Amino acid sequence: MNQPQAEPAKLLIGGQWLASRTDHWQDIVNPATQQVLGRVPFATADEVDAAVAAAQAAFPAWRNTPVGARMRIMLKLQALIREHSQRIAKVLCAEQGKTLADAEGDIFRGLEVVEHACSVGTLQMGEHLENVAGGVDTYTLRQPLGVCVGITPFNFPAMIPLWMFPMAIVCGNTFVLKPSEQDPLSTLLLVELALEAGVPAGVLNVVHGGKEVVDGLCSHPDVKAVSFVGSTAVGTHVYDLAGRHGKRVQAMMGAKNHAVVLPDANREQSLNALVGAGFGAAGQRCMATSVAVMVGAAREWVPQLKALAERLKVNAGHEPGTDVGPLISAKARERVLGLIDSGVSEGATLLLDGRQVQVPGYEQGNFVGPTLFSDVTADMRIYREEIFGPVLLVMCVDTLDEAIALVNRNPFGNGTGLFTQSGAAARKFQNEIDIGQVGINIPIPVPVPYFSFTGSRGSKLGDLGPYGKQVMQFYTQTKTVTARWFDDASVNDGVNTTIHLR
């Protein structure tokens, strides 16, 4: 349903909300109803340049703003997010399709990072050692980089932007944010709150668009660092392009997360965790559990797993009791359906088929119901590719060693989990598994912000994660100062032509 009167999303450049001069627009569509909620502009090259220029102009004053003043803005921002979280969640639910509860969780996990930003003073401290040589002291300073860029995905329009711009600017950088063009409205509400909290003009800027805008930001000579979360194809491109132009880059990308279930695990808790992590958010999480590896006698639990999945309610996200909402777009739905078809054609057993799900009152929605495959092999397309839909694969092995080998052979390394009541098995698993984030009886092992998000291998390019101590290191550079001071009574040491201090 086309609604030309839908409100256009604006650009934020130098503290001013501006209408884009572009002739390229895209509708923002409610995935449950196809109602057009707004329109998003694909910014022109001049507008991208203007946003970076505004950030560059704001940097000298902002970097010299006392750290206490920057932290107080973050304190105000976290209070405003709490105050307006219900309003933002409703917008997020409408444009992304999540349930209201999941939308609230999206906002809360981002809010945790804002709260952590309020204590950046302790994170950004340098080191000091006196008398490294006679009368010589050495100390380090952690200083901001300059203009930083964030490119965020559709699946977490609140959490991922809040992973990025609060930590970047509290460290003294300025920022240009490029939200997902599919659901930018809730992101823009967060940016509005940041301005209300006191972020100065030019310190935070927003542009919209697709590949041309991303490329313009990644190659801009005044941009110092790029943070990306999204698909592997785009992330690899961003990492390569920005790296070639001398930027510091972190790219968090695709995943194929396995949960290994041992027969000694708590059956009810483990199966509930698999269903929640496999089908929550319609499977559109980079940390979703997409493969359940049942070890030994745990394979006997598969019928109960199917029964739990069958009970999930598919509906529009704002409807009470909804467990699984729609996929973000019709294109995404078609891709997921194609992957399910490929699983059937390649010989996997389709235990639960979500392709024909019907949602009364929302017949035009992008719905796929919970789908469960067994008899999956590693050469099948449904195993090799990230499905990003409510599809859970079941694979069976005889031993924990076989399970570890299976997980380690997969090229992705975002997250994995082990369900067991054996401490010895858990210790073996966490030691031998080659995955960045490990859960023990935890299905989605995303760490709290005091730690860092640490995906690895094919799921991450760049050394440093997007929050915690690592992101402070990403958004700052270390300057080492070696100093000696003399007074009038100092003895003249004479000329020293050696390379060491004395």
Q: Is-catalytic flag, 286?
A: yes
Q: Calculate the CA 279 to chain-centre distance.
A: 18
Helices (H), 444-499: 469-474
Which position among 93, 171, 286, 396 bears the catalytic label? Answer: 286
Distance in angstroms (rounded) separating the CA atoms of residues 155 and 432? 31
Length reported for the chain: 502
Distance in angstroms (rounded) separating the CA atoms of residues 202 and 57? 7
Look-up: residue for tokens 């090259």?
Answer: 45
Q: Is residue 298 a contact partner of residue 266, using CB atoms and an 8 Å limit?
A: no
Return the H-helix or E-strand segment holding 24. Answer: none
Provide, for the chain, the percentages of residues in helix, strand and coil under a 3-state DSSP scheme, each rounded to the nearest 5. Answer: 40, 20, 40
Task: Determine how β-strand 136-144 pairs with β-strand 128-133.
Answer: antiparallel
Half-sphere exposure of 215 (CA within 13 A, CB side): 7
Helices (H), 118-202: 120-123, 159-170, 185-197
Q: Is residue 410 a contact partner of residue 433, using CB atoms and an 8 Å limit?
A: no
Residues 6+ apart with CB under 8 A from 274: 259, 261, 289, 292, 305, 392, 443
Residue spans of beta strands (DSSP E) within 91-135: 128-133
Look-up: residue for tokens 């750290």?
Answer: 67
Supply the residues annotated as catalytic: 286
